[in-house]
Amino acid sequence: MNVVKIVVLSFLICFVLGSHPASASDKCIKILETSCTTCHTKFNFCKNLGIPKVFWEKKIKLMKTVGANISKKEQDEVISCLVSMSDNLKAFCKEY
């Protein structure tokens, strides 16, 4: 198994065994932490919060061509989160 699959599997296990349902922004942050930060720093996406949906669709499509392992559902959650800039995400990105 490659590292990305292990990270995704670990995330799924933690998510299923979690004691409370996560908010949409919490799910988004988990996806960013487990999928995006395996290759990028938080700066890569935090600097672009609030940019229109089409930007993120193109960016994730590009990342998938170079090996990003993210489902359509996760992609939609992340895009929605990055565009809407929830308070949780702003806190996650506070140093940027």
Domains in the chain: boundaries: 3-92
Per cent of the chain over pLDDT 90 is 50
pLDDT of residue 4: 58
DSSP string, 28-86: HHHHIIIIITTTS-THHHHTTTT--HHHHHHHHHHHHHTT----HHHHHHHHHHHHHT-
Task: Indicate if the pLDDT at residue 79 is higher than 90.
Answer: yes
Q: What is the pLDDT of residues 6-25, one digit of tens each?
A: 555 455 455 544 444 457 77
11-15, 75-79, 81-85, 91-95, range with the lowest pLDDT: 11-15
